[in-house]
Amino acid sequence: MAGIDKSSIRETVGRILQDTQLVDVHTHVYDPELGPVLLWGIDELVTYHYLIAEVFRARPELDYDKFWAMSKQDQADLIWQELFVKRSPISEACRGVLTVMHALGLDPNASDLKGARSFFKEQTARGYVDKVFKLSGIKKVYMTNDPMDDMERPGWEKGFERDERFMGVLRLDPTFMEWPKSIGKLQAMGYDVEPALSGKTIAGIRKYINDWCDRLDARYMAISLPPTFRYPDKNSTMTTLVEKTLFPSAVERGIPVALMIGARRLVNPGLRLAGDAVGKVNIESIERLATDFADTRLLVTLLSRESMHELCVTSRKFKNITPFGCWWFLNNPSLIREITSMRFELLGLGFIPQHSDARVLDQLIYKWTHSRRIIADVMAEKYADMLDTGRLLTESDIKKDIDLMFDVTL
Ligand code: RAT
Ligand code: ZN
C-alpha cells in the first residue's frame, strides 16, 4: 500500500478538510423561518460584541449610554471608522470582518460601508443562508434556542416548516439564572411553579423542559455556568436546578448536556453583551457530574486556557465527556493551535475540535475559514510525526479521521 509522502501531507490534509462539509455544534444562528432572531448583514457583522469591546478601547472617552442610544447603522459606521479606517484591523474579530468581505467580493479597503450595504440590500434571508453555508463549507448547525426570549418563542409556538440544516438545542441558563426571575414567564406559559424549589416547582420545570425539547426536537440541552459553579452544592439554587431538572430530563430523554463554564457575566455592565470576562473552572465539579450521570454524554467547553488542560486530563478519565470547541476568548489562532495540539496529544481523535459560536450568520464564513487552516496545520504536524515511525497514511484514513471528529450527530 502506497502512503502519502511527508512532503505533501499539509496540502493533502488542507484539501480534504476544505472539501468536507462540516457540522457546527454551537451557534447563535437560526432557521430563517424564526425571523428577526437570525442576524445577518454588514451592520450586524461590524457591531458584533467582540468589536464593541474594541471600539471603547480605541475611543476611551466614548460614553456607554451615548453609544447604545445610537442606531445600529451609526454604531457600525463609528466602529468601521475607528477600527478599520483609522487603524489597521489586525485583531481576530476585525480580521473576521475582512475575511467575510473578501469572500463576498466586498472591498475591505472601503472608506465607508455604503458598498457593503448595497450588496446586502440585494440578498434575501433564505438565499443568503444558502450562500453562507456554501462559502463556509458547513452542512448543519446547532442553534441556541431560548424559550424565555420574547423574540424567539412566538415563532416556535406558532410552528413552522423546519429547515433541516438547523438543529434545535434547548438553552437553559436564561431560565435558571437568578431564580426565581423567570417564574413570571413560566407561569404565563402555563407551568405550575413557585419561587421555592419545591416538588411542585421541580415537576413544573421538568414539564417545561420536556415540552420544549419536544417542540424544538432538541438534540441536546445547554447551559452556560459561572466559574463559581460547584457540584454538589446543596446551598446553590443553580446547582439544585441543574441536578434536579436538567440532568434527570437529559437522562430520561437520552440526550447530551452541553456545559459551557467560565463566563463571569457583566463584569462591566456598561458594555452589555460585551461586558463578560473569564474565570477558571472547578474541574472536580465536572468530574462529579460525569460520575453521577455516567450514562449521559457531557459536551464540555471552558473559557479559560488553564482550565482546558485540566479538561483534557479529566476527559481521559471519563468516557462520557467530549470536549468541544475553542470558546469565545479562546477562539483566537494562537490559542486554537495550542489547544488543538494538546487535545490530539492527550485524546487522539476523541474531541470536537471547533464550533463557531457565530452570532451573525456571515460569521460562519470567517470562523470556519480561520479554524480550518489551523486545524489542518496541527493535524498535518501530528500525521508527520506518525509517518516518521514508518506508519503509513492514505487519503481515506485522513477523510475517516476528519469525519470522526466533525461529522457529529447528537
Ligand atoms: O461567544 C459569544 O458570543 C458569547 O457572547 C456567548 O454567545 C457564548 O458563546 C454563549 O453561548 O453564552
Ligand atoms: Zn455561544
The CA 76 to ligand 1 mean position distance, Å, reads 20
- State pLDDT tens for residues 152-170: 999 999 999 999 999 999 9
- Phi, psi torsion values for 364, nearest 5 degrees: -55, -35
Ligand 1 site, CB within 6 A? 28, 144, 224, 260, 273, 328, 357, 359
What per-residue confidence (pLDDT) applies to 2?
81
| Under-50 pLDDT residues of the chain | none
E strands along 81-149, which residues?
138-142
- State pLDDT tens for residues 57-104: 999 999 999 999 999 999 999 999 999 999 999 999 999 999 999 999
What per-residue confidence (pLDDT) applies to 265?
97
The CA 393 to ligand 1 mean position distance, Å, reads 38
Residue nearest to atom 1 of ligand 1 (CA): 328
Q: How far apart are CA 343 and CA 308, in angstroms?
A: 9
Q: How far apart are CA 274 and CA 384, in angstroms?
A: 40
Q: Percent helix, strand and coil across the chain, each rounded to 5?
A: 55, 10, 35
Q: Which domains are assigned to the chain?
A: 23-38+137-359 (3.20.20.140), 42-122 (1.10.2020.10)
Instruction: Give the bridge partners for 277, in sequence order.
Output: 264
What per-residue confidence (pLDDT) applies to 1?
63
Pocket test for ligand 1, best of 24, 359, 367, 371 (most atoms within 8 A of CB): 359
Q: Cβ of 170: how many Cβ atoms within 10 Å? A: 27
Q: Which atom of ligand 1 is nearest to the CA of 173?
A: 12
The CA 261 to ligand 1 mean position distance, Å, reads 11
**Angle at the Cα of 94 from the Cα atoms of 44 and 334, rounded to 5 degrees:** 125
Q: How far is CA 9 from CA 5, 16, 220, 387, 407, in A?
A: 6, 11, 36, 10, 22
Largest CA distance in the chain: 68
Q: Which amino acid is at 60?
A: P
Q: Which atom of ligand 1 is nearest to the CA of 273?
A: 5
Closest by CA to 219, choosing from 84, 360, 25, is: 25
Q: Which amino acid is at 333?
A: P
What per-residue confidence (pLDDT) applies to 124?
97
Strands 321-323 and 166-171: unpaired
Q: How far apart are CA 204 and CA 155, in angstroms?
A: 23
Contact (Cβ atoms closer than 8 angstroms) between residue 280 and residue 226: no
Q: Kindly state the DSSP code that residue 224 receives in the 8-state scheme.
A: E
Coil, strand, or helix at residue 229?
A: coil
| pTM greater than 0.95 (yes/no) | yes
| String of DSSP letters for 347-400 | HTT-SB------SSTTHHHHHHHHHHHHHHHHHHHHHHHHHTTT----HHHHHH
The CA 10 to ligand 2 mean position distance, Å, reads 31
Q: Cβ of 366: how many Cβ atoms within 10 Å? A: 25
